[in-house]
Structure 1
């Protein structure tokens, strides 16, 4: 049974919270890095460092998301408090599913864009993971477009997710956000 939070509703397990916040932090770093790295006239050293970070952090996010998905299948999330209306709970479920889906689309499209473009992913190279596809300009273009469009949808959903969490924490004060808080008192 998951621990209880201060509002006496079930909390997410510590592993689920850790995975959530690790992935969230990486994604929130990836967004500006991805935007800055494509700016024309950026100093080459900075641009290279940002591309290196962005590609390799994308692989880490993909692996963490797989672990998170496996953990979630084994340990479903705790139920929402009864104070959350059914429509609101449904919207939250859809939003979470879309967030996960879009993160996976970003990881896959980023990987395909890099590999089909003939670029390395240094972390995978260091681990001896072979290039599974080789250069493919057509696939590179589709993956690049998919990555760019999905990024916009992901940013909107992240904004909605953060807004909803803050609404629960600051306005409703119903304990919904406290269930995923990184540090909490456990009864």
Structure 2
């Protein structure tokens, strides 16, 4: 089996890992911050972290999507079955879509709910959306549904990556690793 396949370009790898780390912070923060009985200072800190990191992710995800649309990924090895190629393409498409839906729906939920986004407020950027409980509720429902779908698709993505790294050892994992030479 080949273990040195053509890899992703450095910008693709770094954008992937920056978003991955941020999302892996956002998911537990988002799940914990809404729990009943959580100490208010902890809850407030998690809400502020979640909102502001989500806001910072919007331009990073935009750059990532544009980069992906303008730079084809390296081909998968010929040993990958067709169904796995299709599953990979579908899961990557879903990940990109969810990476856009999550911060946008979160932003709409917060602003339509009349809440601050501290980073944007400090920069003097207005709310951009008027207060609207129906819009906030719809955005909240979308954000929550998309969050659980994102968790599921990420579990499949990470599972497949680990399968390539630890079981198949076919070089697919190393194509995206940031330290690759």
**TM-score normalised by structure 2 residue count:** 0.95
Residue 146 (str. 1) matches residue 142 (str. 2):
yes
Query: What are the residue-to-residue correspondences of 1:16-95 with 2, within 5 Å?
Result: 16-95=12-91
User: Which runs of no fewer than 5 residues in structure 2 stay unpaired?
Assistant: none
Counterpart of 1:98 in structure 2 is 94
Alignment RMSD (CA, Å): 1.2
Q: Which moved more, 1:161-170 or 1:126-135?
A: 126-135
Residue 137 (str. 1) matches residue 126 (str. 2):
no
Tell me if the contact between 2:3 and 2:169 (Cα under 8 Å) persists in the aligned partners: no
Give the Cα separation in 2 of the matches to 1:112 and 1:73: 25
Report SS of the residue matched to 1:67: helix
Deviations 1:18-41 (A, max 9, x none): 110010011011111011111112
User: Which runs of no fewer than 5 residues in structure 1 stay unpaired?
Assistant: 1-5
Residue 15 (str. 1) matches residue 11 (str. 2):
yes
Deviations 1:1-53 (A, max 9, x none): xxxxx823210111111110010011011111011111112112111110000
Counterpart of 2:179 in structure 1 is 183
Tell me if the contact between 2:112 and 2:132 (Cα under 8 Å) persists in the aligned partners: yes
| Runs of 4+ with >6 A deviation | none
Counterpart of 1:3 in structure 2 is none
Aligned length: 180
Deviations 1:96-127 (A, max 9, x none): 00011012111111011000000011111122
Residue 159 (str. 1) matches residue 155 (str. 2):
yes
Give the Cα separation in 2 of the matches to 1:43 and 1:8: 50
Give the Cα separation in 2 of the matches to 1:45 and 1:20: 32
Once the 2 structures are TM-superposed, how far is the Cα of residue 70 of structure 1 from its aligned partner? Answer: 1.4
Once the 2 structures are TM-superposed, how far is the Cα of residue 156 of structure 1 from its aligned partner? Answer: 0.4
Tell me if the contact between 2:114 and 2:131 (Cα under 8 Å) persists in the aligned partners: yes
